[in-house]
Amino acid sequence: MFSISTWLEDQKKITKRSKKKAYDYFDFISYFQANEAISNLNFRRALRDAGSMTTDHHHLEAIDEAKALMRQRNNCNSRFGKRYQRFWMERQRADSNKRIEATKANAREQIVQQTAALMKRTASEVAGTSSRSVEGLEPSNEHQRVSDDLSSDGEEQRDPMLEKLMSASQNLKLSLSSLNIIDLADRHSRELYEESLGEQKFRKLFEPTTISWKEEPACKKLIDALSASNVDARDLCQIIRAPIIEAKDYRPMIHYDLRAIEVIAGRWIDLMCSPRNHISMICGERTSALDSGILILQNLFLQFNDRVSFKWIEVEAEGTKRHKWDGVLQNVNDDDDKATVMLIEFAGGFGNQNAKKLENDTEKVYRNAARLLNRRDSNENCQPRIFIVLTQDRTIYFESLTLMTNLTYVRTRAAEIQVPYSPDGLKKTIKHMKDVFAWRDSVISSIQEDTASLRDANLDTNPIPGTP
């Protein structure tokens, strides 16, 4: 069976005098039946691995040349670009023909089965027996399914760029692709999508959700002090209790991020210095939330409680039917299904790593987030978002789901932090709090955008399948 490592071993045997060219793209993909994006991603990884494993000058030159040629793949004026485009057009045409033939064969098989079932039913009726004995026979539904298999109505409405990404998602069988969600939270998926689009187009997907944290000097000073590399537990106690600014200069509406760090980090440091730090133990998800998700979120949004408010533990959100949530953030100025700004789900407490539960909770929360977005006003200049917080074990994910202007949703992850139970862990986590603050600012900004957006400007959106 062909593998990338086998191919790389073959390339090592190629010398300057060999007729065969080393690290040739078309030689590489001749071994694959993958699509364009996956093939390119694997080839790029193969070149990276090859460069790290050799010091041979000839091979390093060949690797650099292969990388340079790949940058020309969309240039139809270059020899490589012409060959590249021609190859993938022919491959896609062949794959399309195979899919059409497979669909036709499947339809023919279903028609044969339907006909046989109808004949059996007719024979039963003639014999005076009940037609209900024929298992699962619903002729009208069977016919509808055959028609649906041969139909592709609605697929052409999507933007070509995002259609390409959805195709890549389905090829990888990503869990959220069935909801028309492009998942940019997963590192491997991001690499594939970037390869599919190119760096410039890929970055455009992040434009609606990219906000930088406006550093507040006092807060930055405390973050830098807590994340310094040469501090221990005793130093952390001193740092968190030493005033960063004079009491007379403290202003709650200016220094709210400073205060958030003081409370959050102070709680974690107190637990480290206590006789029994339960963060390092196994705890239930709601007990854990008190010193992880709830602790962080309550302090992040404290000075914005005139705009948003939290509801915690087994609460319902308007627009998500009868689902119960561990937490919901709502706009205090709305009283309908547009009030929900954020969905929060605890998928396991400290010491509890259940990948299946995290996967199920992720699908549940994003299915309902997409349902909420379908009810929002949206236009090209105002793409609505629902924000998501997921926790499992000691990991907290700060994410968002954005409705694009072409029937597709994009999932992005702004920050991922670990709830610390040691000084080293605290230093690492505090460094990432800047990303969490930026994510918080995106939440507040989205509320302002929703307030200013035009009514009756809805885009057509794909209906999200119902959930039990």
Range with the poorest average pLDDT among 21-30, 277-286, 288-297, 350-359? 21-30
Q: What is the pTM of this model?
A: 0.66
At residue 326, does pLDDT exceed 90?
A: yes
Cα 66 to chain centroid, rounded: 31
Range with the poorest average pLDDT among 94-108, 112-126, 226-240? 112-126
* Radius of gyration for the alpha carbons in the chain, expressed in angstroms and rounded: 28
Distance of alpha carbon 97 from alpha carbon 269, whole angstroms: 63
Q: What is the pLDDT of residues 50-71, one digit of tens each?
A: 888 888 888 888 889 988 888 8
Distance of alpha carbon 11 from alpha carbon 59, whole angstroms: 9
- Work out the pLDDT band at 238, boundaries 50, 70, 90: very high
Alpha carbon distance, N-terminus to C-terminus of the chain: 43
In order of 94, 307, 355, 406, the CA distances from 161 in angstroms are 22, 36, 31, 10
Mean pLDDT of 401-407: 76
Strands 395-403 and 409-418, by their bridges, are antiparallel
Q: What is the pLDDT of residues 72-101, one digit of tens each?
A: 888 888 889 888 888 888 887 877 777 677
Please tell me the predicted confidence (pLDDT) of residue 384: 86
Please tell me the predicted confidence (pLDDT) of residue 305: 93
Q: Are 169 and 177 in contact (CB under 8 A)?
A: yes
Mean pLDDT of 171-176: 57
Q: What is the pLDDT of residues 2-18, one digit of tens each?
A: 678 888 888 888 887 78
- Work out the pLDDT band at 461, boundaries 50, 70, 90: very low
Please tell me the predicted confidence (pLDDT) of residue 361: 93
- What DSSP letter does each residue of 223-245 carry, written as one string? HHHHT-TT--HHHHHHHHHS-SS
Distance of alpha carbon 172 from alpha carbon 418, whole angstroms: 28
Q: What is the pLDDT of residues 328-367, one digit of tens each?
A: 999 988 766 578 999 999 999 999 989 899 999 999 999 9
At residue 29, does pLDDT exceed 80?
A: yes
More confident: 377 or 303 = 303
In 3-state terms, what secondary structure has residue 47? Answer: helix
The count of other CB atoms within 10 Å of the CB of residue 321 is 12
Cα 438 to chain centroid, rounded: 18
Distance of alpha carbon 466 from alpha carbon 333, whole angstroms: 28
Please tell me the predicted confidence (pLDDT) of residue 381: 67
Please tell me the predicted confidence (pLDDT) of residue 349: 95
The residues near 381 (Cβ < 8 Å, ≥ 6 apart) are: none
Whose CA is closest to 330, among 368, 303, 301?
Answer: 301
Say if residue 406 is exposed, middle or buried (CB neighbours under 10 Å; 0-12, 13-18, 19+): middle
Please tell me the predicted confidence (pLDDT) of residue 457: 39
More confident: 3 or 255 = 255
Say if residue 199 is exposed, middle or buried (CB neighbours under 10 Å; 0-12, 13-18, 19+): exposed
Cα angle value 225/210/333 (rounded, 5°): 95
Mean pLDDT of 371-398: 85
At residue 454, does pLDDT exceed 50?
A: no
More confident: 457 or 100 = 100
Mean per-residue pLDDT of the chain: 79
Number of H helices, E strands in the chain: 17, 7
Please tell me the predicted confidence (pLDDT) of residue 177: 67
Segment holding 213, helix H or strand E? none
More confident: 123 or 158 = 123
Please tell me the predicted confidence (pLDDT) of residue 107: 66
Mean pLDDT of 402-421: 86
Please tell me the predicted confidence (pLDDT) of residue 204: 65
Distance of alpha carbon 348 from alpha carbon 413, whole angstroms: 19
- What DSSP letter does each residue of 125-190 carry, written as one string? HHTT--GGGSTT--HHHHHHHHHHHH--TTGGGS-HHHHHHHHHHHHHT-TTGGGTEEE-SSHHHH
Range with the poorest average pLDDT among 257-261, 349-353, 402-406? 402-406
At residue 143, does pLDDT exceed 90?
A: no
Residue 352 backbone dihedrals phi, psi, to 5 degrees:
-115, 105
At residue 378, does pLDDT exceed 70?
A: no
Mean pLDDT of 266-281: 94
Distance of alpha carbon 23 from alpha carbon 8, whole angstroms: 8
Range picked from 159-163, 212-216, 378-382 for highest mean pLDDT: 212-216
Distance of alpha carbon 386 from alpha carbon 410, whole angstroms: 11
